[in-house]
Amino acid sequence: MEPNAIDAYIDEHTEAIRPLLRDVRRVIRKSLPEAAEKISWGMPTWWDRHNLIHFAAQKHHLGVYPGEEAAAQFAPRLTGYSVSKGTIRFPYDKPVPLDLIAELAAWCGAHNR
């Protein structure tokens, strides 16, 4: 991975969405300090022997991709969000729950080693 691949990904997006993307990156990095950052499938990804969690800026939402098992584990806390097959969609017109994303990332790290 080139040193600034995730920075470049963030910079490709509009100024309005960049602060959120930086915040999401920050909380995932804090939750997964041992994981490597890379771009996989065109998305910021955290990796430790395999992909742990991804995120992507979509037109109307932030997509977080922790996998089906994590989405099922956190299902009671994800009511009100669109969830399918390990994908969680956080619409931009609502506050994005960074604390929940941090917990998802930590769970993925602990349960996928």
Q: Which tokens go with 31?
A: 């939750």
What pLDDT, on a 0 to 100 scale, did the predictor assign at position 112?
Answer: 78
Q: Which residue stretches of the chain have pLDDT < 50?
A: 1-3
What pLDDT, on a 0 to 100 scale, did the predictor assign at position 12?
Answer: 95
What pLDDT, on a 0 to 100 scale, did the predictor assign at position 113?
Answer: 63
Q: What is the pTM of this model?
A: 0.93
Domains, the chain, ordered by start: 5-111 (3.90.1150.200)
Instruction: For residue range 35-59, list pLDDT tens digits in order.
Output: 999 999 999 999 999 999 999 999 9
What pLDDT, on a 0 to 100 scale, did the predictor assign at position 75?
Answer: 96
Cα separation, 8 vs 57, in Å, equals 13
Residue 6 vs residues 37, 46, 70, 100: alpha-carbon distances, Å: 8, 11, 23, 21
What pLDDT, on a 0 to 100 scale, did the predictor assign at position 54?
Answer: 98
Cα separation, 92 vs 58, in Å, equals 9
What pLDDT, on a 0 to 100 scale, did the predictor assign at position 74?
Answer: 97
